[in-house]
Amino acid sequence: MTQSTPASTLDNLTRLASKPGVQSTLIISKADGSIIRSTGLLSSSPPVSSVSSLHSPVSSTFPINHGPDSDTAKETHDEAGDYGDKREGRVQTAEDIAKMVYSFVSAAGGLVEGLNKGDEVKLLRLRTRKNELVIVPDAKFLLVVIHDTPPA
């Protein structure tokens, strides 16, 4: 099932992707967390053996237990037996980022609903030492821009 994005959303995505410091942009389905479109560094896929389906729904919860026996650790375990790819700050795939963003937006939506019934999230900014994620929820999509954090 293919979802079409409005022309204005695609224009905004193209404009944002061309700004200095922008690493990647994603349009994620709000219904199931699948990637509709991605640009930038994260849009290139890893080897076929570790690619998940672009249209597979993602969980709306993120496991808290990240030990070697957790589901998250099993997902990151590759043929060489390494668990460290996601924990050592290496670049993650667009699918990984989409799953985490979908979970983050779902949790933020639950928080807002708990605070004010009937209210909704309009914008989320998550700033780390290395990057900033700007997430704009829409009726059908989540627009995500990942850019460098400017020096203070």
Burial (Cβ within 10 Å: 0-12, 13-18, ≥19) of residue 68? exposed
pLDDT tens-place string over residues 25-70: 999 999 999 999 988 876 655 444 333 333 333 333 333 333 444 3
Map the chain to HEC letters. Answer: CCCCCCHHHHHHHHHHHCCCCEEEEEEEECCCCCEEEEEEHHHCCCCHHHCCCCCCCCCCCCCCCCCCCCHHHHHHCCCCCCCCCCCCCCCCCHHHHHHHHHHHHHHHHHHHHHHCCCCCCCCEEEECCCEEEEEEECCCEEEEEEEECCCC
Give me the mean pLDDT over the 125-142 stretch: 93
Give me the mean pLDDT over the 110-136 stretch: 94
Q: What angle do CA 98, 104, 107 make, to 5 degrees?
A: 140
Whole-number mean pLDDT of the chain? 73
The pTM assigned to this predicted structure is 0.64
The pLDDT of residue 34 is 95
* Of residues 125 and 82, more confidently modeled: 125
The pLDDT of residue 89 is 58
User: Domain-by-domain residue ranges, the chain?
Assistant: 93-129
